[in-house]
């Protein structure tokens, strides 16, 4: 049905090529930089011919950076570990809290249920610093400043609304009669929840979990305000690293590559559900 | 309906666990969130205080004093103006750009699907990290973009470090990160539109521009509105990109709401003023999120009905 | 012995009273079909019995004991849903076995019972399939097997034949009565099809306006409906209803029908002076060639042949329409045009116009003897 002329097709191809270049070039370029020595990076004009080196990664992984000014200890691997720990724990906790709540909101109309669900949603849209700055003062009083617990708790602001609203949609799509049938067959409510509702909402739970992991990983401001130096995730760590390492651009590029690789890989794996996650469950991809 | 004398007293029966079950299920999530409402209330309280961390003796209740001070503060109006410009520019460019890309990728071919997946990568990059990437590329010494610009004959393009181009640079990063968001939502919208109106228009030989403005755009509008409001809400609060790129500088050129509030808190330790700024921002986002949720709910119902 | 007893049950959804003081009792081993137009709360009633919803008021006694407060899993009921409600992530075998796994039955016993019920329902060969891979008929049988496998003494079947194709429905309608009798459970069977209700039920409970309007054997429901609402639900085409005002002429009750005066038996004398609806079942009307003293002149307007019968559209003088049906095996097609219609008096139903209640002639005996039709046409 599409009657497209040659000019149109060429135009289309040119446009798409430009678009792909614009969006992918930075990623590719930084990836290339991460395999170059500082000297190669500083060449003018920039050149694509170089012998790849793994020195940048080695320095990052070993944690020691040799610069002209001497040796520098870099906590970047620790940042990476923090990111893994914080994001994983935050998502697991959000799943434990969010999946039963999502089920409650999907299946029952109870007092204030919609108000509560929308309050949780509105957390997604409030300015984070409004809560974070007073919280940082509370954290000092509560002794949460130097702990993972505090951060994991605050990360619920990211993960919980997402999980709640995506999983709720999946629960709503299960015919209640399927659960009723299992109840009537003689199974308790709890068994029905775990044997019927959870497996049937499985794809949604997995998607929400993956996506909230990505969003927790990518978060910057929460940790910037609340995390002490040794609890910082990569987003904050990478920024600190740039300041500390000065002109070690190769290592900076390598650090960036290490920081984004996990989320990019997860995103490629979870791309089927991204649309749904990005729209908080409003649009199915 | 005829009423009949009730031969048995009406009694409510069947008190089963079902009644308290939903509360039990949602309570843990709720408790965790109530913990977060406490600092929110605290922030409202702080915004009514003269409260500087470095001058604890001055702490006192001044009602709307902080807000009134903001009104007479040229710096505040500068923040409002820069935030609005940032928001308008990013959302506008991303919407147009995203719509064009979505239209180009509308047909479900393998290549188009591959491209739409690859374009998601910037969106999945942490915005703070994305800023670092662009910082490396715009570095005056070796940045590839600086080099390309100099090839074009512009030798003193300062990117984020020059007041005249700083806004352009952060908007560019924002566009790089978030255009895929618009693209992916609008693409999902385009692909979910019913085909009949388009087939009918094609049969009648309606010009394609006319089809686009009279059929595609109106039918796509719930998606456009939801995606734009989504971005609007995020853009007016943008922190990561601006902070990672320039920390609000150079000078006061990029002091958007949250960056300003952050600096007010940590650099000038003026907790009251910082809280007042954030409350103003919160009120703006609250109004916006009201519209957002209305549209969002409509979309949600639609996608559930079609599922 | 009463197995299910429902007393004065009320249930309201969003200010709509669905059940409004419904009472019904079902004896052990009895099959009662629950019949009514869609949206009258038949499914709701089953769900209240199964414990899926709590009633607003009223009592449900199962096996003589108050069931309120006991959740669905403790009621010992088997239920088949209209939309089958199979567990999509389990094989047909596990679907059926689900009713046994809850009861701590050992694996060998479960396998034996599942196999047995699958044989009975002829789905033994698809036990390993997931619901997605089953045909509609197989899904329906799987759902039925799941309801039956634990030998529940109370079985609730929610229009199980609704979502299967016509051929299968026909087969199952033949197969089900024997099957249900063999299981021996007390059965409450919801259906929207009056033929199914009459074919399967020992008794038919007619649900109208949130209550059981009538619960009786199929034959009596058909012949002696309590009111015009019930009468209308049974029969295809539905019965003709004509407004009449019986009068006493020379001491005998008489109605005017299509310009003709028709004398009614003396037992209808009390009806004189009131406004009534005359109910005539289409199959009780016969076309005759010659006018008799108490036939009605009509115009045959159209004939619709339906395989085993034909439906005739007639108009009386004054334009009122009547539907008649007759066996469809006539040698020559009927010609449209003027004709006369006669009807059996014992099939005549009279309803009070205001209340809809059926008028019961005093001294029923006389009615059967007299016939208004005189000539038989063939």
Q: Which of C282, C310, C304, C292 is nearest to C376 (CA)?
A: C292
C202 has pLDDT over 70: yes
User: Where exactly does CATH 2.40.50.140 map onto chain C?
Assistant: 240-369
pLDDT computed for residue B8 by the predictor: 37
Taking the CA of residue A280 and the nearest CA in chain B, the distance in Å comes to: 9
Q: Is the pLDDT of residue B279 over 80?
A: yes
Tell me what the mean pLDDT of segment A189-217 comes to.
94
Taking CB atoms and an 8 Å cutoff, what residues of chain A touch C99? 185-186
A70 part of a folded domain:
no
In the DSSP assignment, the letter for residue B256 is -
Contacting residues of B for A127, CB less than 8 Å apart? 237, 257-258, 261, 278, 281-282, 285
- Residue C178 confidence class, pLDDT cut points 50, 70, 90: confident
Quick check: C88 contacting A, CB < 8 Å? Answer: yes
Give Cβ neighbours of residue C133 (< 8 Å, ≥ 6 apart).
Answer: C126
Residues of A within an 8 Å Cβ radius of C:
175, 177-178, 180-189, 191, 196, 199-200
Query: What is the distance in angstroms between the Cα of A107 and the nearest Cα belonging to chain C?
Result: 13
Q: How confident is the model at residue A194 (pLDDT cuts 50, 70, 90)?
A: very high
- In-domain check, residue A44: no
Mutate to test the interface with A, among B28, B30, B32, B97 (most CBs of A within 10 A): B32
Q: Does C37 touch chain A (CB under 8 A)?
A: no
Q: Taking 60 as the threshold, does the pLDDT of residue C10 lie above it? A: yes
What residue spans in chain C does CATH classification 3.40.50.300 cover?
A: 2-225
C240-369 placed in CATH 2.40.50.140: yes
How much is the pLDDT for A10?
A: 93
Closest residue to C21, CB basis, from B6, B12, B13: B6
- Which residues of chain C make contact with B12, given a CB cutoff of 8 A? 56-57
- Residue A274's domain comprises 76-278
CB contact under 8 A, C59 and B14: no
Please give the interface size between B and C, counted as residue pairs whose CB atoms are below 8 Å apart: 38
By C-alpha distance, the chain A residue nearest C50 is A184
pLDDT tens-digit profile of C232-256? 999 888 889 988 888 888 888 888 8
Which chains pack against A, by 3+ Cβ pairs within 8 A?
Answer: B, C
Contact B33 A156 (CB under 8 A): yes
Contacts of A188 (CB under 8 A, 6+ apart): C73
Q: Residue A191 belongs to a domain with what CATH number?
A: 1.10.3720.10
Between C230 and C367, the higher pLDDT residue: C230
The verdict on a CB contact (< 8 Å) between C88 and A184 is: no
Nearest Cβ partner for B124 among A156, A236, A264: A264
User: What is the sign of the dihedral through the CA atoms of B156, B158, B162 and B165?
Assistant: positive
Give the architecture-level CATH label for domain C2-225: 3-Layer(aba) Sandwich (3.40)
Task: Of C170-174, C193-197, C252-256, C285-289, give the range with the top mean pLDDT.
Answer: C193-197
CB pairs under 8 A between A and B: 276
- Inter-chain CB proximity B185 and A260 less than 8 Å: no
- For residues B60-66, give the mean pLDDT: 87
For residue B1, give the chain C residue with the closest CA.
Answer: C209
SS3 per residue for C266-320: HHHHHHCCCCEEEEECHHHEEEECCCCCCCEEEEEEEEEEECCEEEEEEEECCCC
Min distance C294 CA to chain B CA atoms (Å): 39
Task: Tell me if B13 and C21 make a contact (CB, 8 A cut-off).
Answer: no
In a domain, A27, yes or no: no
Inter-chain touch B40–A131, beta carbons under 8 Å: yes
Q: State the number of CA atoms in the 13 A half-sphere of C323 facing the CB.
A: 16
List the domain boundaries for chain B. Answer: 46-306
What are the tens digits of pLDDT across the range A129-188?
Answer: 999 999 998 998 888 888 899 999 999 988 999 999 999 999 999 999 999 999 999 999
Say which residues have a Cβ less than 8 Å from residue C135's Cβ, sequence separation at least 6.
none
Please judge whether A220 and B23 are an interchain contact, meaning their C-beta atoms are less than 8 angstroms apart. no
Q: CB distance B16–C210 less than 8 Å?
A: no
Q: Which residues contact A51 (CB under 8 A, 6 or more apart)?
A: none
Residue A65 lies in a domain: no
- With CA atoms as reference, the chain C residue closest to B12 would be C57
Residue C98 in contact with partner chain A when CB distance is under 8 A: yes
* CATH entry 1.10.3720.10 includes domain B46-306: yes
- What's the confidence (pLDDT) of residue A68? 61
Torsion sign, CA atoms C198, C201, C202, C205: negative
User: Stretch C164-189: mean pLDDT, rounded?
Assistant: 86
Per-residue pLDDT at A246: 67
Nearest CB among B1, B4, B16 relative to C54 is that of B16
Number of domains in chain A: 1
Q: Tally Cβ neighbours within 10 Å of residue C188.
A: 28
Q: What is the pLDDT of residues B225-278, one digit of tens each?
A: 999 999 999 999 999 999 999 988 888 889 999 999 999 999 988 999 999 999
Please tell me which chains touch C, using 3 or more CB pairs under 8 Å as the contact test: A, B
Record: contact C99-A175, CB cut-off 8 A: no
Query: Could you write out the three-class secondary structure of chain C?
Result: CEEEEEEEEEEEECCEEEEEEEEEEEECCCEEEEECCCCCCHHHHHHHHHCCCCCCEEEEEECCEECCCCCHHHCCEEEECCCCCCCCCCCHHHHHHHHHHCCCCCHHHHHHHHHHHHHHCCCHHHCCCCHHHCCHHHHHHHHHHHHHCCCCCEEEEECCCCCCCHHHHHHHHHHHHHHHHHHCCEEEEEECCHHHHHHHCCEEEEEECCEEEEEECHHHHHHCCCEHHHHHHCCCCCCEEEEECCEEECCEEEEEECCEEEECCHHHHHHCCCCEEEEECHHHEEEECCCCCCCEEEEEEEEEEECCEEEEEEEECCCCEEEEEEECCCCCCCCCEEEEEEECHHHEEEEECCCCEECCCCCCHHHHHCCCCCCCCC
User: Could you give the percent of chain C with pLDDT greater than 90?
Assistant: 33
- A105: confidence class by pLDDT, cuts 50, 70, 90: very high
Q: ipTM of this predicted complex?
A: 0.92
In the structure, what pLDDT confidence band is assigned to residue B158 with cuts at 50, 70 and 90?
A: confident
Q: Do A177 and C89 touch (CB under 8 A)?
A: no
């Amino acid at each position: 049905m599409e009657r497209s002329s040659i000019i149109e097709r060429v135009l289309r191809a040119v446009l798409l090529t430009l678009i792909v270049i614009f969006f992918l070039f930075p990623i590719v370029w930084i990836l290339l930089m991460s395999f170059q020595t500082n000297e190669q990076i500083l060449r003018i004009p920039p050149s694509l011919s170089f012998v790849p080196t793994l020195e940048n990664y080695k320095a990052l992984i070993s944690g020691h950076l040799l610069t002209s000014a001497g040796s520098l200890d870099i906590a970047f691997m620790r940042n990476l570990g923090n990111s893994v720990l914080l994001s994983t724990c935050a998502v697991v906790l959000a799943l434990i809290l969010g999946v039963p709540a999502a089920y409650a909101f999907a299946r029952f109309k109870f007092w204030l249920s919609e108000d509560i669900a929308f309050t949780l949603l509105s957390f997604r849209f409030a300015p984070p610093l409004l809560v974070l700055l007073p919280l940082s003062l509370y954290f000092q009083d509560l002794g949460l400043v130097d702990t993972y617990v505090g951060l994991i708790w605050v990360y619920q602001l990211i993960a919980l609304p997402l999980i709640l609203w995506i999983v709720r949609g999946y629960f709503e799509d299960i015919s209640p009669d399927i659960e009723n049938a299992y109840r009537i067959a003689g199974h308790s409510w709890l068994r029905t929840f775990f044997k019927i509702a959870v497996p049937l909402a499985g794809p949604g739970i997995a998607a929400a979990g993956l996506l909230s992991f990505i969003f927790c990983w990518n978060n910057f401001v929460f940790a910037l305000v609340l995390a002490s130096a040794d609890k910082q995730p990569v987003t904050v760590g990478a920024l600190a690293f740039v300041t500390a390492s000065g002109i070690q651009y190769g290592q900076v590029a390598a650090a960036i590559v290490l920081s984004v690789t996990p989320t990019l890989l997860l995103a490629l794996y979870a791309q089927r559900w991204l649309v749904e996650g990005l729209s908080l469950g409003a649009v199915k991809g | 309906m005829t009423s009949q004398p009730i031969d048995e007293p009406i009694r409510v029966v069947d008190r089963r666990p079902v009644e308290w079950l939903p509360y039990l299920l949602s309570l843990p999530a709720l408790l965790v969130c109530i913990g977060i409402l406490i600092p929110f209330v605290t922030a409202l309280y702080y915004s009514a205080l003269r409260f500087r961390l470095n001058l604890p003796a001055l702490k006192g209740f001044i009602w709307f004093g902080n807000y009134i001070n903001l009104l007479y503060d040229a710096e505040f109006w500068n923040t409002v103006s820069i935030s609005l410009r940032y928001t308008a520019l990013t959302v506008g460019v991303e919407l147009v750009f995203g719509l064009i890309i979505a239209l180009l990728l509308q047909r479900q071919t393998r290549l188009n699907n591959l491209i739409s997946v690859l374009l998601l990568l910037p969106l999945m990059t942490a915005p703070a990290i994305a800023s670092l990437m662009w910082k490396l590329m715009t570095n005056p010494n070796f940045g590839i973009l600086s080099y390309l610009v100099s090839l074009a004959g512009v030798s003193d393009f300062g990117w984020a470090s020059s007041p005249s181009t700083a806004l352009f640079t952060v908007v560019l990063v924002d566009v790089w990160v978030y255009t895929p968001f618009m693209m992916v939502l609008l693409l999902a919208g385009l692909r979910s539109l019913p085909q009949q109106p388009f087939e009918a228009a094609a049969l009648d030989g309606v010009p394609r521009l006319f089809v686009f403005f009279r059929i595609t755009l109106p039918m796509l509008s719930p998606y456009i509105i939801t995606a734009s409001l989504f971005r609007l809400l995020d853009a007016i609060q943008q922190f990561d990109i601006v902070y990672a790129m320039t920390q609000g500088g150079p000078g006061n050129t990029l002091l958007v709401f949250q960056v300003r509030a952050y600096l007010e808190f940590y650099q000038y330790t003026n907790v009251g003023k910082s809280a007042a700024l954030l409350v103003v921002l919160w009120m703006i986002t609250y109004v916006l999120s009201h519209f957002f949720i209305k549209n969002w709910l409509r979309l949600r119902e639609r996608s559930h009905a079609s599922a | 012995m009463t197995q299910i007893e429902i007393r004065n049950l009320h249930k309201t959804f969003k200010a709509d009273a669905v059940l409004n003081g419904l009472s019904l009792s079902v004896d052990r081993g009895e099959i009662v079909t629950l019949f009514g137009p869609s949206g009258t709360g038949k499914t709701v009633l089953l769900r209240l019995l199964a414990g899926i919803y709590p009633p607003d008021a009223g009592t449900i006694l199962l096996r003589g004991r108050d069931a309120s407060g006991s959740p669905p899993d403790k009621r010992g009921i088997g239920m088949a849903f209209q939309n089958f409600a199979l567990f999509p992530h389990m094989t047909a075998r596990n679907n059926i076995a689900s009713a046994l796994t809850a009861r701590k039955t050992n694996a060998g016993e479960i396998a034996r019972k599942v196999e047995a019920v699958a044989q009975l329902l002829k789905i033994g060969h698809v036990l390993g399939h997931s619901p997605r891979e089953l045909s509609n008929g197989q899904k329906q049988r799987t759902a039925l097997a799941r309801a039956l496998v634990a030998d529940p003494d109370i079985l609730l079947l929610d229009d199980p034949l609704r979502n299967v194709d016509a051929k299968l429905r026909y087969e199952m309608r033949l197969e089900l009565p024997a099957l249900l009798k063999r299981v021996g459970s007390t059965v409450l069977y919801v259906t929207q099809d009056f033929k199914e209700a009459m074919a399967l039920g020992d008794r038919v409970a007619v649900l109208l306006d949130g209550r059981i309007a009538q619960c009786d054997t199929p034959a009596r429901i058909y012949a002696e409906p309590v009111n015009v609402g019930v009468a209308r639900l049974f029969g295809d085409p539905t019965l003709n209803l004509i407004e009449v005002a019986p009068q006493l002429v020379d001491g005998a009750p008489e109605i005017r029908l299509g310009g003709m005066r028709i004398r009614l038996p003396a037992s209808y004398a009390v009806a004189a002076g009131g406004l009534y609806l005359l109910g005539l079942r289409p199959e009780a009307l016969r076309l005759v060639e010659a006018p008799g003293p108490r036939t009605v002149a009509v115009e045959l307007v159209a004939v619709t042949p339906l395989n085993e019968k034909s439906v005739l559209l007639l108009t009386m003088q004054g334009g009122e329409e009547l539907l008649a049906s007759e066996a469809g095996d006539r040698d020559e097609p009927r010609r449209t045009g003027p004709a006369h219609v006669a009807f059996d008096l014992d099939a005549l139903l009279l309803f009070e116009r205001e209340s809809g209640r059926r008028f019961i002639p005093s001294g029923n005996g006389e009615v059967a003897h007299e016939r208004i039709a005189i000539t038989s046409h063939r």
